[in-house]
Amino acid sequence: MKTKPNLSFWQLWNISFGFFGVQIAYALQSANCSRIFATLGADPHTLSYFWILPPLMGMVVQPIVGLLSDKTWTRFGRRIPYLFVGAAIAVAVMCLLPNAGNLEFTIMSAMTFGLISLMFLDTSINMAMQPFKMMVGDMVNEQQKAKAYSLQSFLCNAGSLAGYVFPYLFTAIGIASVAAPGIIPDSVKWSFYVGAIILILCVFYTTLKVREYNPAQMRAFQEAAQREAAAASGKSADSASPAKFDNKYAIKVFFQVGLVQFFCWAAFMYMWTYTNGSIAETAFGVDMSDPHHASTAEYQAAGDWVGILFAVQAIGSVLWALVLPYFKNLKVGYSLSLLIGGVGFAMVPFISNQYLLFVPYFLIGFAWAAMLAMPFTLVTNALEGSSKMGTYLGLFNCTICLPQIIAAALGGVILSALGSSQGNMLILAGVLLAIGAACVFVISERRKSKA
């Protein structure tokens, strides 16, 4: 066997199934981080600063995981050991983070504890998440990668859907969603506990079901991919002399896709940071100038509703992920998805009915589906034949983390410049996605050989 075989639906499913559990953890973090720190006493103008550390840790951790896993060969696999260790740490931290207000700390100490817990949570989620992307790059051929990453996007968004609705569901069955000032509500705590259990079960499933290719098989696949690249470029495809991996082309695509990523992930950073405050003010009538607004029942109800809105976004993303593989031109599907998502962001501040907010968040899901599938399809196709797939994908994660860091660092300044209205930050997010949609068309794609 010299080329990677076509895999069955269930083989593709098993490779990515653990992503369902990992994404529950990520959804709980993204939907509740601002709520947790606001409850602990953070000011809206400093709220974005709490979001700097998670992507910063991602920039450090994922390239290291990629580099080390490229050189790791064990009886448990190449990427799976890192997946399992990351998930185990995430489970432990998910039980600690929501208890930041229960340890009789001062406000500053509680926020420091919460920030450290968030740092470890995001580090471990990144460590668990990256192996799934690498396994698709390792085990799936170029013809099936769009399908594989779309399936991964489907599972990712299904996990998001579960994580987002947990606080609302636990509130609905009678678990308290309001607590004393500085204390995280029980509905949020139980959401993290249940999410941790599901995460470890999903990772066990993938560990038991997936068998990664051994070193000899991987070498044969890389040589075959190099010959195909040589044939596509018109060079000799002599089986005894496989062409060298086209590093220049891969780097060019890496940075071109990274440009699109910059605008997309900055936009979503502002969604995660400012949705809670925006809809609390416009749809729930919360006076955000009140220093005690985070302890009001209305603000916590808005926090629960953010989970529902993000779940609607996940539904939109799941459905759109099923459509994306049918676009014959990947770039057209990618750009259109981002543009539709940008329109959704721009609509949010102008809607005061909490149920009508379903419309923009459903549209935002289109952009999210494309962001999860398209960049990795384009980049791993360009990396086909490389012996350092994990290292490259680890570095590619910097195109996700760096824009979040920059957006978070500038968030307070931009918020003040836009009149301290958190809704205006969502309009800005829409503009950023529109710019990203235009940048898609600078991405190069290698033409296939007809031979």
| CA 18/CA 3 separation, integer angstroms | 26
Q: What is residue 69's predicted lDDT score, i.e. its pLDDT?
A: 75
The pLDDT confidence band at residue 451, using thresholds 50, 70 and 90, is very low
Q: Which residue has the tokens 């794609």?
A: 445
pLDDT band at 335; cut points 50, 70, 90: very high
Among residues 410, 264, 441, the alpha carbon closest in space to that of 342 is found at 264
β-bridge mates for residue 74, sequence order: 77
Q: What is the pTM of this model?
A: 0.71
Rounded-to-integer distance, Cα 258 and Cα 327, Å? 21
**Nearest to 138, CA basis, from 326, 11, 327:** 11
Residue type for position 10? W
Task: State both tokens at 372.
Answer: 């999860």
Q: How confident is the model at residue 307 (pLDDT cuts 50, 70, 90)?
A: confident
Q: How many CB atoms lie within 10 A of CB 133?
A: 26
pLDDT category of residue 341 using cuts at 50, 70 and 90: very high
State residue 449's pLDDT score. 43
At residue 201, the pLDDT reads 92
pLDDT at 241 over 50: no
**Cβ contact 430:324 at 8 Å:** no
Its CATH class, for the domain covering 9-222+246-442, is: mainly alpha
- Provide the pLDDT for residue 235: 56
**Per-domain residue ranges of the chain:** 9-222+246-442
- 416 with 321: CB under 8 angstroms? no
**Torsional sign, CA 25, 349, 49, 368:** positive
pLDDT at 387: 61
pLDDT at 242 over 50: no
Residue 2 confidence (pLDDT): 67
Mean pLDDT in residue range 128-139: 80
**Phi, psi torsion values for 388, nearest 5 degrees:** -120, 40
**Residue 203, CA distances (Å) to 74, 131, 160, 189 in order:** 17, 11, 16, 22
Q: Is the pLDDT of residue 239 over 50?
A: no
- Kindly tell me the sign of the dihedral angle through the C-alpha atoms of 441, 442, 443, 446: positive
Of these ranges, 290-299, 321-330, 390-399, 433-442, the one predicted with the greatest mean pLDDT is 433-442
Burial 116-130 (b: 16+ CB within 10 A, else e): ebbebbbbbbbbbbb
Which residues, 6 or more positions from 173, have their beta carbon under 8 angstroms from its beta carbon? none
In the prediction, which pLDDT does 107 show?
67
pLDDT digits (tens, 9 = 90+) for 261-286: 999 999 999 998 899 889 999 999 88
Q: Which two tokens stand for residue 268?
A: 């979503």
Tell me the mean pLDDT in the region 326-352: 93
The whole-chain average pLDDT of the chain stands at 82
> Average of pLDDT values for 300-324?
88
**Burial call 398-420: b when 16+ CB within 10 Å, e when fewer:** bbbbbbbbbbbeebbeebeeeee
Question: 365 pLDDT exceeds 90?
Answer: yes
pLDDT at 285: 85
Phi and psi (nearest 5°) for 208? -80, -30
- The listed range with the strongest mean pLDDT (64-78, 239-253, 293-307) is 293-307
What residue has token string 């930041």? 100
Please say whether the beta carbons of 99 and 184 come within 8 A. Answer: yes
Predicted confidence band at 59 (pLDDT cuts at 50, 70, 90)?
A: confident
The yes-or-no verdict on residue 294 having pLDDT over 50 is yes
Q: Which of 106-110, 220-224, 407-411 has the highest mean pLDDT?
A: 407-411
| For residues 210-220, average pLDDT | 78
Please state the rounded mean pLDDT for residues 10-21: 88
CA distances from 170 to 63, 192, 302 (A): 37, 11, 15
98-102, 397-401, 410-414: the lowest-pLDDT one: 98-102
Given a contact cutoff of 8 angstroms between Cβ atoms, the answer to whether 22 and 132 are in contact is yes
What pLDDT, on the 0 to 100 scale, is given for residue 16?
Answer: 85
Output phi, psi for 200, to 5 deg: -70, -35
The backbone region for 174, taken as left when phi is positive above 0, alpha when psi lies in -120 to 50, beta otherwise, is: left
